A and B are shown apart, each in its own frame.
Chain A
Amino acid sequence: YAWDANEEYLFKAMVAFAMRRYSSKSTTQISNVLLCNVTDRVSFWFVVTDPSKNVTTVPGSEVEAAIRMNRNRINSAFLLSDKTLQFLKITSTLSPPVEPSTPVWLIVFGVVLCLIVAGIFFLVFAGIQQRKKKNKESTERENLEEKDEVTGTVENGIPCEVLDLKAGHINGVFAADDERFTSL
């Protein structure tokens, strides 16, 4: 928006409002705020005269304090911010940054850690299961091989003389049935 006499009027009104709120002097009028040295850059000087006593100006520190108290109201009246509407010699108090109750990073960290620990446990258990299955399989296979050895099947191609040298266990269940088999 362009800066014209109406905006100047609004500014005077805001300063008067600020003075009224600050010092509770409800007699400050718009006519008590005087602007001077207005430039194209939209910068100007202003003074506030004391309504009760004519011709004297309110001390600068009072004006500064009043404006500081109502800074956000003045800013929003003009749709500006601390950066775009600058009062020389009035520094803005900085707002503290928002601190959530638990730091966000701890939450993310917790999620990541849980996932990884779950993955590790899963893999370790899968490995243990696999090993148990392999052990069971290999003992089953051993039993099967022993059965084959004693009944003397030819399929695995092991000649019987070699088997006799091995310290094999004779399975009592089958040993009794020896007469059933034809002699070689």
Chain B
Amino acid sequence: LSVSPEIPKEDGRPKWDNKFQYILSCIGFAVGLGNVWRFPYLCQIHGGGAFLIPYFIALLFEGIPLLHLELALGQCLRKGSIGAWNTISPYLGGVGAGSWMVSVLVSLYYNTVLTWVMWYFINSFQEPLPWSVCPLNENRTGLNEECYESTAVNYFWYRKTLNITPDVTESGTLQWWLILCLATCWAIVYLCTIRGIETTGKAIYITAVFPYLVLTIFLIHGLTLPGATDGLAYLFTPDLNTLKNPRVWLDAATQIFFSLSLAFGGLIAFSSYNPPKNDCEKDAVTVAIVNSMTSLYASIPVFSVLGFKATTGYWDCLDRNIISIINEFDLPEESIIRQNYTAWISFLNSSHPEKIAGLQLKSCDLQEFLDQSVSGTGLAFIIFTQAIILMPGSQAWAILFFIMLFCLGLSSMFGNIEGVFTPLLELQIISKSIPKELISGIICLISFLIALCFTLGSGSYWIDIFDSYAGSLPLLVIAFFEVIGVAYVYKIKRFSKDVKWMTGRKPNLYWQITWRFVSPLLLLIVFVAFVTLQIQKPPSYAAWNPKYEGFPMKEEKVYPPWVLAICVLLAVLPCVFVPLVALFHLIKRMCRSKDPNFVPPEVLSCQETNS
């Protein structure tokens, strides 16, 4: 009999077709909608170029160490999040369960955001774009009132898409067009995740690469638009004074953390399909740097377009003023143009001040237009769509933009679904004979049915709630326990040995210090600061109420107590698994320790699991 060489044991676990697929999947998971609509906004309000300083510090001391930790963990233990944490220590099994719970909650609402993107995408095939014109009112004498008071873009978003109710307690009805789009989105997710990474690995080639293509196209086009340089200057002008505000550091830390999609369990799932001998250190650094570079790269076209929009708004304001002045004073056309507007105004003010005052001219200030910054869905569906109308060939730009957003969100959904799917496959409750296609189908079907609540009139308020409470605080808690668990329960010495076995070299001093002290400390500080800020004021939301007297401004409302209870539940539910599971095992052990034949199970290390 010949001795078998060092071939890893064939355990029937699916694996990536090649390393590139794995890296693309991690990058696709990390690069999501937040890179496009949150990072540029943060950059802008926190002093432009100066924001990059806390951002990169957070990346270095929080992002990269945690990323390396998760990738190494998954690769070493070759199990999804629940199995991996159970293997590290049964007391830490709650960390895995918490990650799984968060992945479930986030998958539910994230796909609804993609539903909105899909709705806008299929509406982009019309001429003219439906959000560029206001519909007429019933007797065709004028424009629809709600649309007239706000803008056509706002009307299309709040009325035609969301059909939003004025209050979170009013549920409204199910919007059938959103249900159709939601079904389509879940069908697409099912199509791509039908056999786990076998199918997502093929789909990721398109969904991870295509956004970069579109961003480049928008970059080139955006830089040619008038006013682009104003927008870019506004974005990148550093204002170092903002660094004195602790809010800036907190925002940088949370942005890095959520941008890298840590603590979802998806990264652990992805790396568990790797061969054990793989350089996870290089992978982690690569993924983190690509993610940050993408954020920077994406902010350039976004701000060129925003600068273009601000300049166009400024010119429109000037033109309206010019028309009223010309009408009033009966001056010939083209006598006042934008360039000599200020000279004319000062001249007319000195000669006929009462006439000028009677005209009630709006003061046009480019800074004011640039200051109208929004993040999140407002950026994509209101501001960007408005800018797209102003470009020639708007249909093409709209289609490209929404496909890009869809791909960005879809690749993040793959990671979320993998974080749900992989641990379920490993739990003993599902028998091996059930085909994978059926399990993923059931997951997608159940998620679709639950996500139907987000298609109600008040759906977008609920998505904001889920985003702020389920998708933020529990992740910090879980990540904190991840680092503490590996550093102090599993012990860093052992972990370093495992990493050395996998990558061929011992993790250097940087990793040792960050894993042991810096990252847990930073996470603790961020968590405490986050909670403090949340508690300081009662949680409120901005409602779109056409009957509000300040309309089109949004009405500030406070959440009623039952909604607050749900918020707290969402934030606490994933976190509560950690102590519960630990307590459960503690009690089991205390009962078992009375049994003399009982031997406590050993914690397996990486090499033992694999050889």
**Shortest CB distance B560–A (Å):** 36
- Contact of B330 (CB < 8 Å), options: A40, A108, A112: A40
Counting CB contacts under 8 A, is B326 at the interface? yes
Q: Which residues of B contact A109 (CB under 8 A)?
A: 122, 180-181, 184
Given A96-B136, A123-B199, A131-B435: A113 and B332 interface contact (C-beta under 8 Å): no
Counting CB contacts under 8 A, is B52 at the interface? no
Counting CB contacts under 8 A, is A182 at the interface? no
Distance A167 CA – B334 CA, assembled complex (angstroms): 102
Counting CB contacts under 8 A, is A36 at the interface? no
Counting CB contacts under 8 A, is B503 at the interface? no
Determine if B126 and A123 form an interchain contact, defined as CB atoms under 8 angstroms apart: no
- Interface residues on chain A, number (Cβ under 8 Å): 24
Distance A113 CA – B179 CA, assembled complex (angstroms): 13
Query: Which residues 55-111 of A sit at the B interface, judged by CB distance below 8 A?
Result: 93-94, 96-97, 104-105, 108-109
**Shortest CB distance B515–A (Å):** 41
- Contact of A97 (CB < 8 Å), options: B135, B184, B330, B333: B135
**Shortest CB distance A11–B (Å):** 17
Q: Which residues of A contact B435 (CB under 8 A)?
A: 127, 131
Given A123-B199, A127-B435, A157-B1: A41 and B333 interface contact (C-beta under 8 Å): yes
* Interface 9-residue window, one of A21-29, A114-122, A143-151: A114-122
B333 to A, closest residue via Cβ: A41
**Shortest CB distance B358–A (Å):** 17
Q: Which residues of A contact B332 (CB under 8 A)?
A: 40-42
Q: Which residues of B contact A104 (CB under 8 A)?
A: 123, 125-126
Determine if B326 and A116 form an interchain contact, defined as CB atoms under 8 angstroms apart: no
1/0 per residue, CB under 8 A from A, across B176-187: the answer is: 000011001001
Q: Which residues of A contact B333 (CB under 8 A)?
A: 41-42
**Shortest CB distance B175–A (Å):** 14
Counting CB contacts under 8 A, is A165 at the interface? no
- Contact of B194 (CB < 8 Å), options: A93, A105, A117, A124: A124
**Shortest CB distance B424–A (Å):** 18
**Shortest CB distance B114–A (Å):** 13
Counting CB contacts under 8 A, is B239 at the interface? no
Given A108-B125, A127-B435: A113 and B184 interface contact (C-beta under 8 Å): yes
Determine if A127 and B195 form an interchain contact, defined as CB atoms under 8 angstroms apart: yes
Q: Which residues of B contact A120 (CB under 8 A)?
A: 187, 190-191, 194
1/0 per residue, CB under 8 A from A, across B406-450: the answer is: 000000000000000000000000000001010000000000000
Query: Which residues 167-211 of B sit at the A interface, judged by CB distance below 8 A?
Result: 180-181, 184, 187-188, 190-191, 194-195, 199
Q: Can you list 7 residue pairs at the A/B interface with Cβ under 8 Å? A: A40-B331, A108-B125, A109-B122, A109-B180, A113-B187, A117-B187, A127-B195
